[in-house]
Structure 1
Amino acid sequence: MKTSLSFFIINALFCSVFNHVQAQSSAAADVSATISTPIAIEKISGNDLNFGNIASGKSAGLVILNTNGVRVSEGGATLPASTGAVSVAEFLVTGEPLYSFSITLPSNPITIVNSVNPAETMIVDRFISSPEATGTLPGGKQVLKIGARLQINPGQAPGVYISALPFNVTVNYN
């Protein structure tokens, strides 16, 4: 009987250990994702890049339009007292509040053409922005201002010069 009892106890312990070793356990977890408000950019109506009135000279010149709307001339370009309609380009960037974004400005020059004599052209390049390379969306929006440099040829023909195509500004979340 003693042997049977010992065998029964050993067998019970073995089964007990065996059952615990083979037992499985599982847990569950939820899955979630948050879709952010897409970033968007649109030009603010009426706020195109306009260098205003410029007088050309006998030598080449430059006009730099800063993002604060201030013009500076160099070389054979003069800024007359009658400034004309000077304006920086303005865009409204919208998206997720407090997100930061990168700004990509045109890397290639833009040609502007005389509206009366298409053979007469000038080059716009060295685009700058405020904010500069990155911005933040406090309250979900930020105004982006764009300036640039205008290259004026010696004896540039009078007239209104307009770009054949608008320039693009791209923004992306960081």
Structure 2
Amino acid sequence: MSSGAAMSSVTIDPARMRNVMGHFATGVTVITAVHEGAPVGMACQSFTSLSLEPAYISFAPALTSTTWPRIREAGSFVVNVLAEDQQDVCRAMGRSGGDKFADVAWDKGGNGAPRLAGSIAWIEADVEHILPGGDHEIVIGRVSALEVPRDAAPLLFFRGAYAGLTG
């Protein structure tokens, strides 16, 4: 947008936005932390690498999330990149209430946050910046450690359903 461009007054229907954006395949992650001595986690598709120097990642939790405030308060977290065979883990972390970790194996990361067993990659980070983003917040995390513990295909989300790689 050029500096002289006028702001658009077009209103986009949220259902149409969801439908159209659903055509963009995303990887599936679970953001985890420890809050008041207990593991917390949430499924997240809005994750991306942001910067190599410094090493930053970003994700965008909804303002309606009940888990994000606990992760924010913890200050450090792990992004767990899920494998194609971890749909059950995603479902567990995507639900509200209950013990999301009851049937999910994990170990403690270097920053204390859960690293989920079977993930194809994990990234430990500290909350560096939080910016407003409409009905979400944009979280920028400074990476403190990262690893690829497993060679497997990623879990993807496409058009409202889980998907995998073909070919």
Q: TM-score range by the shorter chain?
A: under 0.3
TM-score when normalising by structure 2: 0.27
Pair member with larger Rg: 1
